[in-house]
Copies of this chain bind each other. A is one copy, B any other.
């Protein structure tokens, strides 16, 4: 019997790995700072919003609804309770629009998944709002290419241990690919898998992390399609 291949399962992050996401948050944040331009400078508003998001993370988790609630909270704070209802209504509308925006897949997403499907078990591992992530997956048209979909509330080493044990042969024979060093790469390395970073121009401030350059199973690629050649080198 030939030895089992080293790599059996490949996990993909979704937001800003397979489709655009952060750009919608940043566009909405610009709309938010414009709405409150009479009350504070954009940088100050962004700073206060980020503080609210951080503070609320343990209650709201990740996603558009929590972001909308944090924008409303910040609007009230920075205006010292004088935010007009019209501004709050605009923020609500901006949040609803984010939840309806069309999904724009990133270059190479479909081709990469199609090439790897059948040769590896392909798992989508995405964090955030269950309802919104399911909507985006359906709208992306990529759903059929995955052997499994895991929408999780956070991405830790324990998350990858669980997901790759459930859907594969454990993290040691798994690879995770994503744009966030903090969520997609570092925890899977800690769990014993390969962690592949595909940087995106826009990455949320709370997802920043130092590059794990000394980790033997860390890889960095410039574009998603490069993963096709990369897996050949370790299979």
Which residue of the partner chain B has the closest CB to A65? B65
A213 within 8 A of B: no
A54 within 8 A of B: no
Q: Are A85 and B86 in contact (CB under 8 A)?
A: no
Measured between alpha carbons, how far is A188 from B89 in the docked complex, in Å?
39
Task: Return the contact of A85 from the options B82, B129, B152 (Cβ within 8 A).
Answer: B82
A131 to B133, CA, bound (A): 13
Chain B residue with minimal CB distance to A70?
A: B92
In the complex, which residues of chain B have a beta carbon less than 8 angstroms from the beta carbon of A83?
85, 88
Chain B neighbourhood of A68, CB < 8 A: 69
Describe A's contact surface by its main secondary structure.
Answer: helix
1/0 per residue, CB under 8 A from B, across A12-56: the answer is 000000000000000000000000000000000000000000001
> Does A60 reach chain B (CB closer than 8 Å)?
yes
* A120-136 interface with B by 8 A CB criterion: 129-132, 134
Residues of A with Cβ closer than 8 Å to B? 56, 59-62, 65-66, 68-69, 72-73, 76, 79, 81-86, 88-89, 92, 95-96, 99-100, 129-132, 134, 151-153
Q: List 19 A-B contacts (CB under 8 A).
A: A59-B96, A59-B99, A59-B100, A60-B131, A62-B131, A69-B92, A72-B72, A73-B89, A76-B85, A76-B88, A76-B92, A81-B86, A81-B89, A83-B88, A88-B88, A129-B130, A130-B130, A130-B153, A134-B153
